[in-house]
Amino acid sequence: MKQSLQLKLGTQLTMTPQLQQAIRLLQLSTLDLQQEVQSALDSNPLLETDTGEHGEHEASADEAKGEDHPTPGPDDRTASASESGTDAASESEWNNDIPDDLPVDTHWDDIYSGGSYSGPTGEDNLLEQRNATSESLHDHLLWQLNLTPLSRHDKLIAETLIDAIDTRGFLQSPLAELAEALEVGEDEILAVLKTIQQFEPAGCAARDLRESLLLQLLQMPAETPWLAEAQAIVDLHLDLLGKRDFRQLGRRTRLNEAQLGEVMRLIQSLNPHPGEAFGGDEPQYVVPDVIVTRRQQRWQVELNPETTPRLRIHAGYASMIKRADNSADNNFLRDHLQEARWFLKSLQSRNETLLKVASSIVEKQQGFFEQGPEGMKPMVLADIAETVGMHESTISRVTTQKYMFTPRGVFELKYFFSSHVSTNSGEDASSTAIRALIRKLVDAEQPRKPLSDNKITQELANQGIKVARRTVAKYRESMGIPSSSERKRLI
């Protein structure tokens, strides 16, 4: 095969490094953006945080445009040198006051006159409380185990049992498997288990829901009203209780409706998952990127200043760059100056795009801000893309993991997008608005006669919204609303 060289002309779409950086910053969340900004500050000496203490804001905008700044005058350099010299002298005098070797009979308090430390206060204490991790169920049970007088052998069994308890508070491993693993009798495992079941929270270390509810009832005072009836229902008729078959339950227990309602009130006070009160996932704090407020009968949109990075180009380093110098140091500063300008432009483009998209969302969803979720209008990414003159992929990047603070709460920008559902009036309704209407109907229903999916469909049809029963069932399940039979209550 003969090798040869050929020239070929063609067109190809390529993304410049600046465009790639702008797109990457656009899709970052607030937390990721803060990490990216910190990484840029650590790697680029030409970037610095704009604290605004001296009113020098020109470096962030002017340097991004490529404007130069004058070199600091000799008076400024003299003043800074004088201040640094004073600090150095003070530090030298402070070090000279401390001897190299302390006498044997000398205490630290005789040399250091610092006050005693009384622990964090104010913001430090608040920060420490926020960062403090909550106690897990496993740790809480082990703490109680250490206070319980048990033999070393029984404590080993108890630790094994506690390790087998899940976050809900239920024992996951069968006693036979634990007895075989520890090479002890099953009766020994059961005896230690009875001890752990007396720990807090009540109902913990149970093997199923029935045993957990019975343990909680057994720890109640004996004079609790309807305690015996509640124990009988949980022990013998838990299946009927789960089906909410109150008619058959009343026949089995020979209780009338009023008496059965009192027993149900006592059972509903129990916790089906007692272990969930401890530990669990740490709360995730959401910091909004956009703030929406109402001013002069209009909705105003602005970026959250707490999440908007304030950067500028270091004027001192930028002034050291010489135009005709090709030395390594000068090239280093010149390259990093260009990178800093690109980074500032990318941040500015991100902020402008986010504000433009958020303003367009607020303009199109005026009904939501005035009436709530029921006033939500159907809207897709293409609607906003057409309004702001951008591609749908760009709108998707902007609205992902970006949050908006409103008088009605904090919402992700994607929350305002929903599909279209036709109505009898010929207009389209938002699926979010339909979910809100379903929630409103369920909240207003009678507990004794909850609305079925067919009845909800009819109620929506009366309001001019035509949806199928299976659509109502899908929306109801997505909101975590149980079926009508499971929502039926006596009280």
Categorize the per-residue pLDDT at 462 as very low, low, confident or very high, splitting at 50, 70 and 90: confident
User: Taking residues 120-141, what's their average pLDDT?
Assistant: 59
Q: In the structure, what pLDDT confidence band is assigned to residue 287 with cuts at 50, 70 and 90?
A: confident
- Tokens 């800093």, residue located: 340
- What residue has token string 């950067």? 311
Report CA 128 to chain centroid distance, whole Å.
19
Please say whether the beta carbons of 344 and 66 come within 8 A: no
- Would you state the pLDDT for residue 152? 92
At 1 the pLDDT is: 61
What is the DSSP secondary-structure string of 436-478? HHHHHHHHTSBTTBPPPHHHHHHHHHHTTB---HHHHHHHHHH
The answer to which of 109-123, 135-149, 242-256, 306-320 has the lowest mean pLDDT is 109-123
Three-state DSSP class for 153?
A: helix
Structure tokens belonging to residue 299: 């909705």
Torsion of CA 451, 457, 459, 464, to 10 degrees: 170
Mean pLDDT of 423-441: 78
Candidate from 56-65, 274-283, 318-327, 377-386 with smallest mean pLDDT: 56-65
Beta bridge partners of 406: 409
Is residue 136 over pLDDT 80?
yes
CATH topology of domain 420-487: Arc Repressor Mutant, subunit A (1.10.10)
The backbone torsions φ and ψ at residue 334, rounded to the nearest 5 degrees and listed phi first, read -65, -45
If we measure between CA atoms, which residue out of 444, 476, 400, 287 comes closest to residue 26? 400
pLDDT at 403: 94
Q: 16-39 pLDDT, tens per residue?
A: 777 788 888 888 888 888 899 999
pLDDT (tens digit per residue) in 305-355: 888 888 999 888 888 888 778 888 888 988 999 999 999 999 999 999 999
pLDDT score at 450: 85
pLDDT for the residue numbered 488: 72
High-pLDDT (> 70) share of the chain, %: 79
- Tell me how far apart the alpha carbons of residues 25 and 43 are, in angstroms, rounded to a whole number: 17
Pick left, alpha or beta for residue 61 (phi over 0 → left; psi -120 to 50 → alpha; otherwise beta): alpha
Cα dihedral 394/400/402/406 (nearest 10):
100
Res 292 pLDDT > 50: yes
* CB proximity list for 262: less than 8 A, separation 6 or greater: 225, 226
Q: Are 381 and 396 in contact (CB under 8 A)?
A: yes
For residue 330, with 0-12 CB atoms within 10 Å meaning exposed, 13-18 middle and 19 or more buried, which class applies?
middle
Which comes out higher in pLDDT, residue 243 or 73?
Answer: 243
User: What's the CA gap between 438 and 457, in Å, rounded?
Assistant: 9
Tell me the one-letter amino acid at 292.
V
Give the model's confidence band at 50: pLDDT under 50 very low, under 70 low, under 90 confident, else very high. confident
* Cα 212 to Cα 197: distance, rounded to the nearest angstrom: 9
φ, ψ dihedrals at 52, nearest 5° = 75, 15
pLDDT band at 104 (very low <50, low <70, confident <90, very high): very low
The pLDDT value given to residue 53: 56
pLDDT band at 458 (very low <50, low <70, confident <90, very high): confident
CB atoms within 10 A of CB 418: 20
The Cα-based distances of 174 to 141, 181, 186, 206, 334 in angstroms read: 19, 11, 10, 11, 70
Structure confidence at residue 423 (pLDDT): 64
Q: Give me the pLDDT at residue 325, please.
A: 80
Weakest-pLDDT range from 89-93, 229-233, 269-273, 442-446: 89-93
Beta strand ranges found along 237-364 (DSSP E): 290-295, 298-303, 311-313
pLDDT at 94 over 80: no
Given this model, what pLDDT does residue 109 score?
Answer: 43
pLDDT at residue 300 in the model: 92
Q: Torsions phi, psi of 418, nearest 5?
A: -150, 160
Does pLDDT of 134 surpass 80? no
What whole-number percentage of the chain has pLDDT above 90?
A: 33
In the chain, residues under CATH classification 1.10.10.60 are 420-487
Q: How high is the mean pLDDT of the chain?
A: 79
Is the peptide bond preceding residue 45 cis, with omega within 30 degrees of 0? no
Q: Look at residues 342, 417, 423, 347 and name the one whose alpha carbon lies nearest to residue 63.
A: 342
Greater pLDDT, 130 or 435: 435
Q: Does residue 229 carry a pLDDT above 70?
A: yes
pLDDT-derived band at 425 (thresholds 50, 70, 90) equals low
**Size (the chain), residues:** 491
